[in-house]
Amino acid sequence: MEAKQIFETYESEVRSYCRVFDSVLATAKGAVITDTDGREYIDFFCGAGALNYGHNNPEIKEKVMDYLAKDGILHALDMYTQPKAEFIEYFEEQILKPRGLDYKIMFPGPTGTNAVEAALKLARKVKKRNNIWCFMGCFHGMTTGALALTTEREAREAAGIPLNYVTHIPAPYMFPELDVIDYMQTMLDDDHSGIEYPAALIMETVQAEGGIRVFSEEFLKQVRAFCDKNDILLIIDDIQVGCGRTGTFFSFERADIAPDILVISKSIGGLGFPFALTLFKPELDIWAPGEHNGTFRGNQIAIVSAKAAAEYYNRYALDKETQAKSAVIERFLNEEIATIKDGFEVRGIGFIWGIDVHDEALAKKISVEAFKKGVIVERAGRKNEVVKIMPPLIIDEETLVKGLNILKDVISELA
């Protein structure tokens, strides 16, 4: 039986990405994926943000293979291990402290949505309040607590149950005439607002699935001040846009703020291994032992890979490299693609960019045709009208421009 027939016969209908990217993939290196027929694809999808350091990064992979060759412990729940001690020490001393951040590190289950669930539990436990605030257009995960935050209608309807204890706030780009901070303050102060006081406000600094919506530095500062003023915890979800994606290791650095609770996953695992962290200020660490746990929170391979990835980020100053190559993307999109058709809108920062074509059918055609011509590019936003460009941070400029030119040709033909 051919591989595609196996999938169509036996795999659940819930599969999604393969309905557009329908080749059988075999190998991958750097920013290029190769299928079983030898056809190559430039990766502008990057595992939905899980492969910032590229496919099979040789320096990270070497550390993992060496650990495996030495029969290093692979599963340890939350017991003490040498890899975990080394990761914690490096992350604290070389990632957090240089940025003026003081966080305790929690290892939840190895997915972003589990890190969010842990953050919500902790916020509610600390503040003894049920409600959480978040912004419309957000995506925070698909498990019940995180899904209550996520605003995508189709995903929410699939839950099959009411999704409660969340208040959704209009994002600032939705109503430019609305002062969102004043709106939130009014809801707190008005004894007839009907809105329950929140334990926390959770946000992405860049709404990725929301259509590449970059919140301004000024707005981020205002949100931090609002939370401080009103005794509300600020949770930042850096699952997709952290680990260097926006040009700094954490996406909030550009605004010179720090959240009370921070969730990261995806590229923190280095090679694409499942891994997640929930970080929080030390005074919030009121967990009882085992109050939030998970069998695979001791994924040692991911911990080894994560330390190697953090070392790689620092060794090659990926923040500076990302910022430099970001200018190449921004210039190309604005000068070569945005001009193709009136109404196209370019948004982004660092290595996450979107072309809002304001046409669901056109965006899908672009994704399909780009794949046929050798570029993997996904869609995002309302009605999936935004073509989402998210290459690995390590992509060389020649390959980057080649992929952008393919995308330009496809859009020119279709638009």
Residue 33 lies in a domain: no
Grouping H, G, I as helix, E, B as strand and the rest as coil, residue 413 is helix
389-399: per-residue pLDDT in tens?
Answer: 999 999 999 99
Residue 51 lies in a domain: no
Residue 339 lies in a domain: no
Residue 159 lies in a domain: yes
Number of domains in the chain: 1
- Does the pTM surpass 0.75? The reply is yes
Residue 214 lies in a domain: yes
Residue 150 lies in a domain: yes
Q: What would the DSSP string read from start to end of 75-90? A: B-TTS--HHHHHHHHH
DSSP β-bridge partners for residue 107? none
200-237: per-residue pLDDT in tens?
Answer: 999 999 999 999 999 999 999 999 999 999 999 999 99
pLDDT at 246 over 80: yes
pLDDT at 406 over 80: yes
Residue 38 lies in a domain: no
Contacts of 144 (CB under 8 A, 6+ apart): 159, 161, 163
- Average pLDDT value for residue range 348-375: 98
CB 266 within 8 A of CB 48: yes
* 98 residue type, one letter: P
Q: Residue 86: which CATH number?
A: 3.40.640.10
pLDDT value, residue 298: 77
State the Cα–Cα distance between residues 54 and 167, nearest whole angstrom: 37
Instruction: State which residues form the domain around 226.
Output: 61-315
Instruction: State how far the alpha carbon of 342 is from the alpha carbons of 68, 337, 345, 368, in Å.
Output: 54, 10, 9, 22
Residue 379 lies in a domain: no
